[in-house]
Amino acid sequence: MLSGKRVNPITDPLMTTWTPDPARLDAFAGDPANGPQLLFFTGGSALDSTSRALKRFTHNSVHLVTPYDSGGSSAILRKAFSMPAIGDLRSRLMSLADERVTGHPEGVQLFAHRLSKGASAAQLRAELDCIIAGEHPLAAVVDAQTRDLICIQLEACREAMADDFDLRGASIGNLVLAGTYLRNAKNLDAAIAEFARHAQVLGEVHTVTNDNYHLVAQLDDGSRVIGEHLITSLDLAGRGAVIEQLSLSNSLDEWQPVQSVLPESRQRMIAAAELICFPPGSFYTSVLANLLPRGAGRAIATSAAPKVYVPSLGNDPEQWGISLTDAVRRLLAMLGDDCEPPVPVEHLLNYVVIDSVNGRYNGGIDIPALQALGVRVLDLPLVSAQSAPLADARLLSEALLSVGGLIKGSPADRAPKMTSPL
C-alpha cells in the first residue's frame, strides 16, 4: 500500500536521477485487476494516451473530469437536454475501454466517428438512422450484441431530438452516452455505470459534479469571460492579460454566480485513492476547474495519499504570463481556500514532477522557489523523442506508478481495495 507518510519537502533531498522500478512495474502488470488506485483531476484529452498506457498496470485508476465544456457537440447536447458536458467524459471512458475484447475495437471506432459538418440536415439524419439500423459500415462490423446495445441508446437520443437539433459534427459516442443518460431518467452516474459496463472500462470515470454550470474566468484587466469554449480560445498574450480567478455561472448568457458542492460519492473516491494526481492539461479549464466544487480542497487535504502535480509541457495558452512557480502557488491557493486555516502545505501537495532536461515550462524552472513553497521537486525523464514537446504516455505512467517508492510493494502485498459506491 502507499505509505501515506507525510513528506518534509524542505529536508528531503532533491531527486536528480531516477529509473523505473522494473520489479514493481512487472508486479502490477502481472495483476492489473488489483493495481493501485490512482486518482486524477483532469479534463480534455491531454491524459487519454496516458490512461491507455495505465491499463497495462492497473484497472483501478479513477478519473474526475470537468463537466463544463460549452463548445462543439457537447454544447448542443447540453442545450437540448439540460445536461452537463459529456465530451471529456466519453473520451476518457473510451481511452480506458478494454480493447482486447472482441468487438470493442470496432465499437471504439464507431464511438469516435463524427458526422459531417458539411452535410445537409436530411443527410445527417439519414446517416444516423443508418447507424441505428446497424447498416452503416462502422456499425455492421461491431458484434451483434454490442451493436444492439449501442443502437438502443442512439435510438433513445434520436427520439428525444427536436426537429431542429443540429447534428453537424456530432460525436456518435456523445450521442450514445446522451441516450444512455435519457434512458436512465437523466441520472448521469447511472448512465456512466451502464456505459462503462458495456464498454468494459478498465477504471472509473466520473464528472467531478453533475451540475449543469458554466465556467467563468476573471482576468486581471477587469474583464469576465463566461463559457469554457471562450476561455480556451482567449488570446491572453494578444491582450496582455492573465487569468486571475475561476468561478461558476448558472447561465452561459449572463453572469449568474453559483456554488457547486462536491458530492459525497466523489469525497469517498478521494478518500480511497492511493495517489492523487493533478496531471498535464489546460491549467484552468482542465485542472483547477475540477477544484471549484466546495469540499474538493478539504477532501484532498484530509487524504493521507501522496499528492502529485505534473505541470503541462509545451505551450499552454491558459498559462500565459504565469510561471511554473506561479502555477504551483495558484494550485496551492485554490486548494487551501477550501480548507479551514491554517492547513500545512504537505496536506495539499507533496510533489511537483518535472523534466528539466527535455521539458519546457513557462518562466523556466526555479527549483529553490518551488521548494520554498513547501513542495518537493522530482526531476524525472518524462519527454521522449517521439512525444516531444509533450510527456510520453509510457514514461509518465511508469513515473506515477514507481517514482520515489510512493507505491510500496507488489499487488499481493497491498490490502484489498474497496470500491466507492455511487
CA distance 335 to 247: 14
The number of folded domains in the chain is 3
Q: What is the pLDDT of residue 403?
A: 65
Q: Answer yes or no: are the C-beta atoms of 103 and 146 closer than 8 Å.
A: yes
Residue with cell 452537463: 84
Q: Are residues 177 and 81 in the same domain?
A: yes
Q: Per the domain annotation, does 79 fall within a domain?
A: yes
Q: Answer yes or no: are the C-beta atoms of 308 and 353 closer than 8 Å.
A: yes
Q: Which domain holds residue 133?
A: 72-201
Instruction: Find the Cα–Cα–Cα–Cα dihedral 292, 209, 56, 378, rounded to 10°.
Output: 10
Q: Per the domain annotation, does 104 fall within a domain?
A: yes
CA distance 156 to 161: 9
Q: Are residues 404 and 268 in the same domain?
A: yes
Q: Are residues 390 and 273 in the same domain?
A: yes
Q: Per the domain annotation, does 17 fall within a domain?
A: no
As a whole number of angstroms, the longest Cα–Cα distance in the chain is 67
Q: Is 83 left (phi over 0), alpha (psi -120 to 50) or beta?
A: beta
Q: Which of 271, 269, 270, 258 is nearest to 212 (CA)?
A: 258
Q: Answer yes or no: are the C-beta atoms of 309 and 352 closer than 8 Å.
A: yes
| CA angle 309–51–331, rounded 5-degree value | 20
CA distance 259 to 262: 10
Q: What is the pLDDT of residue 145?
A: 86
Q: Are residues 59 and 77 in the same domain?
A: no
CATH number of the domain residue 55 falls in:
3.40.50
Q: Per the domain annotation, does 316 fall within a domain?
A: yes
Q: Are residues 401 and 328 in the same domain?
A: yes
Q: Are residues 385 and 343 in the same domain?
A: yes
Q: Are residues 267 and 374 in the same domain?
A: yes
Per residue in 160-215, pLDDT (tens digit) is 999 999 999 999 999 999 999 999 999 999 999 998 988 889 999 999 999 999 99
- Which residue among 176, 201, 226 closes a domain? 201
Q: Per the domain annotation, does 130 fall within a domain?
A: yes
Q: Per the domain annotation, does 206 fall within a domain?
A: no
Q: What is the pLDDT of residue 22?
A: 86
Q: Answer yes or no: are the C-beta atoms of 142 and 54 closer than 8 Å.
A: no
| CA angle 355–206–85, rounded 5-degree value | 95
Q: Are residues 380 and 294 in the same domain?
A: yes
- The reported pTM is 0.90
Alpha helix (H) residue ranges in 5-71:
22-30, 48-54
Handedness of CA 332, 333, 334, 339 (dihedral sign): positive
Tell me the one-letter amino acid at 101. Answer: V
Bond prior to 342 in cis (omega within 30° of 0): yes
Q: Answer yes or no: are the C-beta atoms of 279 and 310 closer than 8 Å.
A: yes
Stretches where the chain sits below pLDDT 70 are: 1-19, 101-104, 403-422
Q: What is the pLDDT of residue 124?
A: 97
Q: Are residues 283 and 169 in the same domain?
A: no
CA-atom Rg of the chain in angstroms: 21
Alpha helix (H) residue ranges in 263-319:
264-272, 296-302
What stretches of 47-175 adopt beta strand conformation (E)?
62-65
CA distance 278 to 391: 14
Within 10 angstroms of residue 143's Cβ, the number of other Cβ atoms is 13
Supply 50's cell numbers: 496516458
Q: Are residues 224 and 364 in the same domain?
A: no
Q: Are residues 322 and 233 in the same domain?
A: no
Q: What is the pLDDT of residue 407?
A: 55
Residue with cell 517521439: 386
Q: Per the domain annotation, does 12 fall within a domain?
A: no
Q: What is the pLDDT of residue 385?
A: 95
Q: Are residues 86 and 191 in the same domain?
A: yes
Q: What is the pLDDT of residue 10?
A: 33
| CA angle 230–231–235, rounded 5-degree value | 90
Helix (H) / strand (E) element for 374: namely none
Q: What is the pLDDT of residue 101?
A: 63
| CA angle 93–204–190, rounded 5-degree value | 85
| β-pairing verdict for 38-42 and 307-309 | unpaired
